[in-house]
């Protein structure tokens, strides 16, 4: 068993970051003060299936890595959090559980956003993370499924050079590919049979939280899905909405019905966020009471209020996100030291079923399986970004003309800075080096 410091070193050297979301370096998350680890396989956004597929095929490897982490940091409560409906993944995990005395299954209801760390921790342990606080504050480490699979590979000497990416929506053959980091996204759409609509838009990640993006970009360690949709689809139109118009629409038609707040997952856990109050003050340019603005800083951007709750089709989440970005730009962070109020009564009954959410968003026609493909994508070249993680970007340590091989470090982060190294994902020759990326030709 590695020591705590050895495990951190293995994770850092092999470039392991959270394989979804912002890409927080995983070694920096490890903490010996926690008493619980949760493997997050809630995968609550409509159309996403990657994590359960990975558990179905790599359960033993993932449980082994989780066991090493738990034993190294001295944790006895380890939960694999899976939705009740993920029957194949549950079967795969149950088949291996006997060999791991501290690992248990925690089954979750089919609701959104069960995968939000704060919600997940409450559903699994009953503990409420205070507004703006980290899971560590309640003694919990939460890890993504693919991240832990990457830990398994790192413990066996392999750095992060590949990524699982699901391509679904308006493509001929929705599939999940294992691709070298740095592959052009358009290559993946092509491998999925190409788009089936002329005027397509691409969502990078889940339909609730993923932004619109371009397939001219490249796979990073945090890419997990490309959802192809017609440009006039409800979800695309929502994501394209203009905030100035959004405020005018709120001024004209927010009825203050309170539904957005009643169904807000963070509000239901006792966090102060009240989107209806934010809509009231922001649409009236009312600054007499700043509390609704400060409370809005606790929004998780789950998107439920604008994709599901608001019967007027308004956009609380987007307006709040703009407001938070402005606050950040001006150096104002999330308020600290706030205590959560008691969890609201009847919370269980107010949670939003994933099926209803999928239907409300017009995504039912795309709710199909996207199996892991056997086809290995071999790009002619890759563009490896130097910043694929939270923290300091890596600095290139290769030059044009160098021959590199898979797994070789091509960008380093100083030992005393937050971040992880980046590695060559194909064998080849370096053809371009900038502060932002390096290009390797196969
Ligand atoms: S649900 Fe819509 S209409 Fe109702 S308070 Fe919220 S933003 Fe206003
Ligand atoms: S996006 Fe809306 S529903 Fe989600 S946390 Fe923010 S205010 Fe609440």
If asked whether residues 137 and 24 sit together in one domain, one would say yes
Q: Which of 264, 298, 352 to mutate to test the pocket of ligand 2 (most atoms within 8 A of CB)?
A: 264
Q: Do residues 395 and 308 share a domain?
A: no
| 114 falls within a domain | yes
* Residue 361, in any domain of the structure: no
pLDDT in tens, 335-391: 999 999 999 999 999 999 999 999 999 999 999 999 999 888 889 999 999 998 899
Task: Say if residue 9 is in the same domain as residue 31.
Answer: yes
Report the atom number in ligand 2 closest to the C-alpha of 296: 7
Residues 235-288: pLDDT tens digits? Answer: 999 999 898 899 999 999 999 999 999 999 999 999 999 999 999 999 999 999
> Please, which pLDDT band fits residue 218 given cuts at 50, 70 and 90?
very high
How does pLDDT run across 291-305, given as a tens digit for each residue?
999 999 999 999 999
178 and 193 in a single domain? The answer is: yes
Asked if residue 360 is part of any domain, the answer here is no
Residues 66 and 148 in one domain: yes
Mutate to test the pocket of ligand 2, among 45, 274, 320 (most ligand atoms within 8 A of CB): 320
Q: How far is the CA of 296 from the centre of ligand 1 (A)?
A: 15
Which of 201, 233, 265 is a domain's end point?
Answer: 233
Same domain, 252 and 139: no
Cβ-count burial of 96 within 10 angstroms (0-12 exposed, 13-18 middle, 19+ buried)?
Answer: middle
321 Cα: distance to centroid of ligand 2 (angstroms):
10
From the list 230, 186, 225, 195, the residue with the least C-alpha distance to 207 is: 225
Which band of pLDDT confidence, cut at 50, 70 and 90, is reported for residue 22?
Answer: confident
Ligand 2 mutation target, pool 112, 131, 275, most atoms within 8 A of CB: 275
Q: Are residues 246 and 301 in the same domain?
A: yes
40 and 182 both lie in a single domain:
no
**Cβ 310 under 6 angstroms from ligand 1:** yes
The ligand placed nearest to the CA atom of residue 258 is 1
Question: How far away, in angstroms, is 391 Cα from ligand 1 center?
Answer: 37
Does the C-beta of 276 come closer than 6 Å to ligand 1?
yes
Atom of ligand 2 nearest to the CA of 309: 3
For position 64, which CATH number holds?
A: 3.40.50.11540
- Asked if residue 312 lies in contact with residue 253, where contact means CB atoms within 8 angstroms, the answer is yes
> Do residues 55 and 145 both lie within one domain?
yes
Q: Please tell me the predicted confidence (pLDDT) of residue 199.
A: 96
Whether 252 is in the pocket of ligand 1, judged by its Cβ within 6 Å, is: no
In a domain, 349, yes or no: yes
Domain membership flag for residue 141: yes
| Residue 58, in any domain of the structure | yes
Domain count, the chain: 4
End-of-domain residue from the set 337, 353, 369: 353
Q: For ligand 2, which residues put their CB under 6 angstroms from it?
A: 264, 266, 273, 275, 299-305, 316-317, 320
- Residue 279 Cβ inside 6 Å of ligand 1? The answer reads yes
372 lies in some domain: no
Q: Is the CB of 251 under 6 A from ligand 1?
A: no
50 belongs to a structural domain = yes
pLDDT beyond 80 at 21: no
Res 44: pLDDT: 86
Q: Are residues 276 and 300 both part of a single domain?
A: yes
| Domain assignment of residue 195, given as a range | 162-233
SS3 of the chain? CCCHHHHHHHHHHCCCECCCCCCCEHHHCCCCCCCEEEEEECCCCCCCCHHHHHHHHHHHHHHHHHHHHHHHHCCCEEEEEEECCCHHHHHHHHCCHHHCCCEEEEEECCEECCCCHHHHHHHHHCCCCCCCCCHHHHCEEEEEHHHHHHHHHHHCCCCCCEEEEEEEECECCCEEEEEECCCEHHHHHHHCCCECCCCEEEEECCCCCCCEECCCCECCCCCCEEEEEECCCHHHHHHHCCHHHHHHHHHHHCCCCCHHHHCCHHHHCCCCCCHHHHHHHHHCCCCCCCHHHHHHCCCCCCCHHHHHHCCCCCCHHHHHHHHHHHHHHCCCCCCCCCCCCCCCCCHHHHCEEHHHHHHHCCCHHHCCCCCECCCCCCCCEEEEECCCCCCCCCEECCCCCCEECCCCEEEECCCCCCCCCEECCCCEEEEEECCCEEEEEC
For residue 299, report the distance from its CA to the centre of ligand 1, in Å: 15
311 C-alpha to center of ligand 1: Å?
Answer: 7
Residues 18 and 95 in one domain: yes
CATH code of 429's domain? 2.40.50
Nearest one of 68, 69, 164, 154 to 407, comparing CA atoms? 154
Q: What share of the chain in percent tops pLDDT 70?
A: 100
Q: Is ligand 1 within 6 A of the CB of residue 304?
A: no
Q: Are residues 31 and 86 in the same domain?
A: yes
Of 155, 175, 192, the residue at which a domain comes to its end is: 155
């Amino acid at each position: 068993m590695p020591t705590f410091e050895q495990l951190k070193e293995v994770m850092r050297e092999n470039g392991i970051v959270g394989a979804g979301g912002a890409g927080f370096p995983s070694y920096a998350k490890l903490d010996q003060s926690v008493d619980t680890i949760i493997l997050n396989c809630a995968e609550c956004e409509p159309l996403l299936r990657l994590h359960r597929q990975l558990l179905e095929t790599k359960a033993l490897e993932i449980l082994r890595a989780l066991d090493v982490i738990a034993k190294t940091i001295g944790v006895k409560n380890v939960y694999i959090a899976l939705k009740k409906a993920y029957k194949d993944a549950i079967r795969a995990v149950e088949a291996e559980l006997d060999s791991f005395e501290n690992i248990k299954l925690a089954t979750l209801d089919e609701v959104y956003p069960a995968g939000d760390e704060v919600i997940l921790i409450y559903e699994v342990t009953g503990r409420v993370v205070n507004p703006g606080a980290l899971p560590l504050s309640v003694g919990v480490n939460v890890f993504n499924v693919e991240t832990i699979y990457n830990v398994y590979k790192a413990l066996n000497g392999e750095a992060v050079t590949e990524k699982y990416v699901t391509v679904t929506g308006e493509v001929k053959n929705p599939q999940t590919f294992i691709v070298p980091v740095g592959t052009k996204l358009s290559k993946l759409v092509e491998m999925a049979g190409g788009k089936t609509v002329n005027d397509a838009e691409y969502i990078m990640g889940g339909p609730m939280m993923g932004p619109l993006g371009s397939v001219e970009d490249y796979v990073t360690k945090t890419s997990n899905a490309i959802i192809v949709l017609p440009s006039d689809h409800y979800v695309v139109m929502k994501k394209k909405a203009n905030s100035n118009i959004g405020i005018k629409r709120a001024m004209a038609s927010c009825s203050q019905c309170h539904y957005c707040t009643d169904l807000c997952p963070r509000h239901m856990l006792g966090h102060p966020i009240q989107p209806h109050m934010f809509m009231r003050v922001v649409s009236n340019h009312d600054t007499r009471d700043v509390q609704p603005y400060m409370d809005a800083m606790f929004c998780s951007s789950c998107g439920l209020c604008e994709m599901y709750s608001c019967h007027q089709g308004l956009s609380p989440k987007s307006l709040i996100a703009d407001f938070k970005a402005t606050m950040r730009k001006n150096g104002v962070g999330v308020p600290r030291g706030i205590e959560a109020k008691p969890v609201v009564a009847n919370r269980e009954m107010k949670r939003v079923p994933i099926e209803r959410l999928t239907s409300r968003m017009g995504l039912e026609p795309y709710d199909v399986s996207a199996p892991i493909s056997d086809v290995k994508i071999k790009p002619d070249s890759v563009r490896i970004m130097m910043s694929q993680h939270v923290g300091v970007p890596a600095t290139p340590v290769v030059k044009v003309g160098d021959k590199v091989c898979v797994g070789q470090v091509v960008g380093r982060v100083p030992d005393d800075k937050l971040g992880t190294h980046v590695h060559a994902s194909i064998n080849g020759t370096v053809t371009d080096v900038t502060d932002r990326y390096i290009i390797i030709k196969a």
